[in-house]
Amino acid sequence: MNIERVVEALKSDPLLFSLAEQHLSVARTADTGPNGSSSAFRDDESVFATLAKMTPAAYDRARRSEAKRLGIGVTALDAEVKLRRRVDSSTANSGSGRAPVLCDPEPWPDAVDGAGVIHELKDAFDRHLTLPDGASTLLAVWTVFAHSHDAFPVSPVLAITSPEKGCGKSSLLMLLGALVRKPLPTANITASPLFRAVEQFSPTVLVDEADTFISQSDELRGILNSGWLRSQAYVVRSVPVGDDFEARIFSTWSPKVIALIGKLPDTLADRSIEIRMRRQLPEEEKRVVKLRPDRLSEFEPLRRRVFRLAGEWQAPLRSAEPELPEGFANRLADNWRPLLAIAELAGSEWATKARDAARLLSAKRDDASLREMLLADLKRLFEDEETDRLASAAIVERLTEAEDRPWPEYSHGKPLTKRGLAKMLGKFSIAPKTIKLPDGRTAKGYSLEDFEDAFSRYVGARET
């Protein structure tokens, strides 16, 4: 056999010889065991070790047949291989990292109901997270989008933002990672690894802590921007080929989630759909079921159903022309069109819910940290004045007197105005109204009760 000569040639390398010898044993004894299994695979540990040393592409091709041969599920085989790759990496201590293991889930064996799957997804997000209105519907549909990504010409980034830390962004990313296709989580990434990982694995990229690095890298932002439109989702790089360099094309086309404090750079924000997380109130924290990182495997059956659904819906999604909410045009319409197409396939109820979510989540956002500073200053102002109502004019006058705050030069060197105040507070759903002042006069202003929810979430009793 040719493989015999290969083994002889490899004897000088113990590792390669061991692998080749195992494959020779498989070739010699194939079809000799019960149910077509090989006697070489009776020692499960040696099989897991061999599979762990394969390249990701080779393993992806072999995993289903080997799981069947071993009489175990594909998910169990993935876990065994992942464990041994982790052990190999820590034992080798080479400092060169380890290859990602990114595989598609095993499709659910039976036909699935689209509306039912999306309902399950929405329930999962609602059960474990405190979300703004419409967000759980968006997340349910976006999860299906991540599995059916290649059916669409546009890939909207899912932006998970918050005004401050502790608002649940990482928990949301963790849950998404348990439900999407080929999750690739990272808390920091540079341009080159990103497009190389996308080219090799077509993963769902889950980026956390993006506020710590994304604004400093023009190249990274350019690559993320390029991945929005499928026909332009490429970068060209020069790579070594033999003794020379040649141009190579790398794909940037994959689903992406980016979580950060604050807001995305403008060009990337235009290509995104934003979910703005809020800090939980005590009663909200009691309502949700805390995610357990060691129990995320419980979502695997649902992920398998989503994967099956996405495969069945590929063809109709490619030609879908969903109804858009009134006023949606240009990039806003492009971002929502794939998600509304998925919702419409699930039925009229989900189509309506998705359009409502689109309206709720599509408002423009200002700088979040500045707004929280405003809330803290207003809380102090209500306390200093010992009142439950303040006129807009009085608020602006007091705020712009503080030389150590941004309000005297709030807008291009000019002080904060009543209109600017109303615009910032409008992001917290707080609007000016006619109030009666202690001296009997009426004026446009604000009541303390209007701020109760915002103060509880972002200021409370904390030191400001």
Classify 249 as helix, strand or coil.
Answer: strand
- Among residues 60, 92, 124, the one where a domain terminates is 92
Site of tokens 């808390």: 187
- Among residues 361, 384, 402, the one where a domain terminates is 361
pLDDT score at 29: 42
Sign of CA dihedral 20, 21, 25, 27: positive
pLDDT score at 136: 97
Assign 62 a pLDDT band (cuts: 50, 70, 90). confident
Number of domains in the chain: 3
Rounded mean pLDDT of 390-396? Answer: 95
pLDDT score at 83: 76
pLDDT score at 276: 92
Assign 254 a pLDDT band (cuts: 50, 70, 90). very high
Res. 18: pLDDT tops 80: no
Task: Report yes or no: 164 and 458 within 8 Å, Cβ to Cβ.
Answer: yes
pLDDT score at 221: 93
Res. 407: pLDDT tops 80: yes
Task: Report yes or no: 206 and 173 within 8 Å, Cβ to Cβ.
Answer: yes
- Structure-token pair, residue 412: 């291009």
294: containing domain: 114-361
Residue from 317, 353, 350 nearest 154 by CA: 317
- 11 assigned to some structural domain: yes
- 106 assigned to some structural domain: no
Res. 31: pLDDT tops 50: no
- Structure-token pair, residue 427: 């992001």
pLDDT score at 26: 43
pLDDT score at 34: 38
Percent of the chain with pLDDT over 70: 85
Do 145 and 53 fall within a single domain?
Answer: no
Do 322 and 191 fall within a single domain?
Answer: yes
- 99 assigned to some structural domain: no
Per-range mean pLDDT, top range of 93-97, 161-165, 442-446: 442-446
Q: How far apart are CA 154 and CA 253, in angstroms?
A: 9
Res. 461: pLDDT tops 60: no
Percent of the chain with pLDDT over 90: 59
Do 322 and 173 fall within a single domain?
Answer: yes
Do 167 and 185 fall within a single domain?
Answer: yes
Query: Which residues, other chains included, contact 363 with Cβ-Cβ below 8 Å and sequence gap of 6+?
Result: 427
How confident is the model over 104-134, as pLDDT tens digits? 999 999 999 999 999 999 999 999 999 999 9
pLDDT score at 89: 52
Model-level pTM greater than 0.85? no
Assign 75 a pLDDT band (cuts: 50, 70, 90). confident
**DSSP sequence for 192-238:** HHHHHHHHHH--EEEE--GGGTGGG-HHHHHHHHHTTBGGG-EEEEE
Do 344 and 384 fall within a single domain?
Answer: no
Query: Which residues, other chains included, contact 84 with Cβ-Cβ below 8 Å and sequence gap of 6+?
Result: 48, 49, 52
pLDDT score at 440: 86
Query: Which residues, other chains included, contact 176 with Cβ-Cβ below 8 Å and sequence gap of 6+?
Result: 139, 143, 183, 204, 206, 257
In whole angstroms, how far apart are CA 195 and each of 205, 249, 448?
A: 11, 10, 50
- Structure-token pair, residue 341: 């197409």
pLDDT score at 14: 42
pLDDT score at 464: 33
* φ, ψ at 240 (rounded to 5°): -70, 130
Q: How far apart are CA 223 and CA 258, in angstroms?
A: 14
- 100 assigned to some structural domain: no
Rounded mean pLDDT of 388-396? Answer: 94
In whole angstroms, how far apart are CA 254 and each of 385, 426, 444?
A: 54, 35, 49
pLDDT score at 249: 95
